[in-house]
Amino acid sequence: MGSRMRKFLKAALNALFLVLAFIPALLSGFGRVKPVYTFFAHACATVPGGIGDFLRGAYYHMTLRSFDLSSRISFGSFFAHPEAGIGSGVYIGTGAQRSAPARTRIGRSCF
């Protein structure tokens, strides 16, 4: 599959999951209502595979201080604090919990 088609499909999936994650993000006050934010962060962490990666990316894009959609957060991983920021091309593996400090900033292309 060509890179142009791959980019298009990824953009379409990101758009779809942004729509799906909008209600949880809205209910959490886009990260400002901490108990609701945490509930949905945990819920998103339990969705496996690529579907979960896109769902987590969409939710964090709308709720974290910053989150680039080119980044990937794997199954079982979540951010306990919405004040975190994630740059582009970041990969966080399975089961990682980022809880301290609250104002964590993970820069571009970190693994």
Radius of gyration of the chain (CA): 13
Asked whether residue 111 is assigned to any structural domain, the reply reads: no
Residue numbers of the domain that contains 23:
3-106
Instruction: Tell me how far apart the alpha carbons of residues 24 and 60 are, in angstroms, rounded to a whole number.
Output: 11
pTM for this prediction: 0.87
Domain count, the chain: 1
Say yes or no to pLDDT of 109 above 60.
no
Q: Of 8, 76, 7, nearest to 44 (Cα)?
A: 76
Per-residue pLDDT of 90-106, as tens digits, reads 998 887 765 544 566 56
**3-class DSSP state for residue 97?**
strand
Asked whether residue 36 is assigned to any structural domain, the reply reads yes
